[in-house]
């Protein structure tokens, strides 16, 4: 099966490309150039691609040309401007990328002729946040107070409208929580900021330490996306789906920072920022019952495991083993899926899974 991943040079996109290749699929990508130090470069993802298109999805003609030339069976649309604070700095770019870019992908997929399934990735932030303690379900109202959340809600609504208006490629929307894992180097994200500060021996500064988020390892999230893609190919996966962790992973930013500091050691610590910051939701949680019951998906890495795998990845990568660290964790996770052992704490604890070379 040939998969095209938009946004393959980003954090989740690079992991997804390697995960797909590991499962025996042909993989192509369409994205902007990676930011310096990105996982895409550190793990040499380009060497595993059948085609590596550097296209801005805001450009409708180039997007259509690239997808038509690639002729994929499945398109996983991850390309986006994904940072809330960046959306305040450049709302036009955010909205053009996340909304018009999604429209361009929908149109290009419809015209390609080869695509059998499309999965559009949005976010948990598409929901109209009413500060409820229960997780949001797929039928809850959408909204968005900040430009990023609004743009992703618009993309979500656009995708639903498109599939209802035009008979064509079976399409699903996937919404996930705060995804963490090795190799994320984006600015204004918690784990990259924490690990950068701790590695430098300086206290990390938290904007909203009391904010609650659903924390989830990238491999659990991506496994959900791929299960959904299989369901769409089988004819029963259309519509919107939440992929969020269990309730024990709904944890404050401050607690995450404290646990990671303990795991890192070396006197790592954090402080709360005293500056004023743009609005971000204080409480946000997903209810993934639909995906668990209907698709048989669940998170395999709990809160502590997700943090431990992220810290372990960075320790190995600092020694020059980004590709080895990534491959080791993918192999371990795939073995985890086979044995279904809820007690696993690290790749090494699976027994016999070692880091692979470049």
pLDDT tens-digit series, residues 61-92: 999 999 999 999 999 999 999 999 899 999 99
DSSP 243: E
- Name the pLDDT band for 123 (thresholds 50, 70, 90): very high
- What domain count does the chain have? 1
Confidence of residue 352 (pLDDT cuts 50, 70, 90): very low
pLDDT of residue 348: 54
Q: Which two tokens stand for residue 103?
A: 């429209």
Pairing of strands 178-180, 212-217: parallel
- Where residue 347 falls among pLDDT bands split at 50, 70, 90? low
Residue 162 within any structural domain of the chain:
yes
In the block, residue with structure tokens 């149109």: 107
CA distances, 136 to each of 7, 125, 151 (Å): 26, 10, 18
What is the rounded CA–CA span in Å between residue 22 and residue 323?
13
Question: Cα–Cα distances in Å, from 141 out to 32, 94, 188, 228?
Answer: 32, 22, 27, 22
- Of 153 and 132, the structure prediction assigns the larger pLDDT to 153
Q: Answer whether residue 92 is part of any domain.
A: yes
How much of the chain, in percent, has pLDDT values that exceed 70? 93
Q: Which pLDDT value is given to residue 284?
A: 80
How many CB atoms are closer than 10 A to CB 223?
A: 21
Question: Can you tell me which residue has the tokens 């969020």?
Answer: 244
Domain that residue 149 falls in: 2-180+213-246+284-301
Span 277-303, average pLDDT: 85
Checking 314-320 for CB contacts under 8 A at 24+ apart, the result is 314/182, 314/195, 314/199, 316/355, 317/42, 317/182, 317/183, 318/199
pLDDT range class, residue 134, cuts 50, 70, 90 = confident
Q: pLDDT averaged over the chain? A: 91
Structural domain includes residue 276: no
In a domain, 208, yes or no: no
Q: Report strand pairing: 212-217 vs 250-252.
A: antiparallel
pLDDT at 177 over 90: no
- Tell whether 74 is covered by a domain: yes
SS3 233: helix
Q: Is residue 357 part of a domain?
A: no
pLDDT at 301 over 70: yes
pLDDT value at position 281?
56
Is residue 294 assigned to a domain? yes
The CATH number that applies at residue 46 is: 3.40.50.720
Confidence bin at 339 (pLDDT 50/70/90): confident
Indicate the pLDDT class of residue 354, thresholds 50, 70 and 90: very low
**For 76-80, 101-105, 243-247, which range has the lowest pLDDT when averaged over its residues?**
243-247
This prediction has a pTM of 0.92
- Tokens 């995708």 map to which residue? 159
DSSP summary character for residue 330: H
Pick from 36-40, 71-75, 128-132, 163-167 the range whose average pLDDT is largest. Answer: 71-75
The mean pLDDT of 291-319, rounded to a whole number, is: 93
Residue-level pLDDT at 104 = 98
Contact in structure between 294 and 226 (CB atoms under 8 Å): no
Position 343 in a domain: no
**With 0-12 CB in 10 A as exposed, 13-18 as middle and 19+ as buried, what is 26?**
middle
The pLDDT of residue 278 is above 90: no
What does each C-alpha distance from 199 to 180, 187, 255, 265, 268 come to in angstroms? 17, 16, 19, 10, 8
Give the per-residue pLDDT at 356.
34
pLDDT score for 101? 98
Q: Quick one: pLDDT at residue 146?
A: 93
pLDDT at 358: 30
**C-alpha–C-alpha distance, residues 8 and 178, integer Å:** 18
pLDDT of residue 353: 37
Average of per-residue pLDDT across 340-353: 49
- Please count the residues of the chain: 358
Question: Has residue 298 got a pLDDT over 50?
Answer: yes
pLDDT of residue 277 exceeding 60, the answer is no
Give the pLDDT score at 24: 97
CB 182 within 8 A of CB 39: yes
């Amino acid at each position: 099966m040939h998969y095209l991943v938009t946004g393959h040079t980003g954090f989740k996109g690079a992991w997804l490309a390697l995960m797909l290749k590991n499962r025996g699929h042909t993989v192509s990508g369409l994205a902007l150039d990676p930011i310096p130090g990105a996982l895409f470069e550190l793990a040499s993802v380009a060497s595993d691609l059948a085609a590596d298109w550097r296209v801005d999805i805001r450009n409708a003609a180039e997007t259509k040309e690239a997808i038509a030339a690639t002729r994929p069976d499945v398109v996983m649309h991850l390309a986006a401007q994904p940072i809330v604070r960046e959306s305040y700095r450049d709302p036009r770019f955010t909205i053009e990328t996340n909304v018009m870019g999604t429209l361009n992908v929908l149109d290009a997929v419809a015209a390609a002729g080869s695509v059998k399934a499309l999965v559009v990735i949005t976010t948990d932030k598409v929901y109209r946040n009413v500060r409820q303690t229960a997780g949001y379900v797929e039928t809850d109202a959408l909204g968005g107070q900040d430009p990023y959340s609004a743009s992703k809600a618009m993309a979500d609504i656009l995708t639903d409208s498109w599939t209802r208006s035009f008979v064509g490629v079976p399409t699903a929307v996937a919404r996930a929580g705060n995804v963490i894992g090795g190799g994320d180097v984006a600015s204004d994200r918690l784990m990259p900021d924490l690990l950068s500060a701790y590695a430098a021996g300086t206290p990390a500064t938290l904007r909203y330490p009391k904010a609650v988020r659903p924390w989830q390892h990238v491999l659990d999230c991506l496994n959900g996306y791929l299960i959904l893609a299989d369901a769409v190919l089988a004819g029963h996966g259309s519509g919107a789906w939440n992929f969020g962790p269990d309730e024990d992973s709904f944890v404050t930013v401050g607690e995450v920072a404290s646990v990671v500091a303990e795991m890192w050691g070396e006197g790592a610590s954090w402080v709360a920022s005293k500056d004023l910051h743009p609005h971000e939701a204080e409480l946000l949680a997903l209810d993934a019952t639909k995906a668990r019951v209907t698709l048989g998906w669940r998170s395999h890495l709990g809160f502590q495991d997700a943090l431990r795998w992220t810290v372990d990845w960075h320790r190995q990568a600092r020694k020059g083993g980004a590709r080895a660290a990534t491959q080791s964790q993918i192999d371990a996770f795939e073995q985890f899926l086979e044995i279904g052992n809820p007690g696993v704490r690290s790749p090494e604890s699976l027994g016999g899974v070692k880091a692979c070379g470049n």
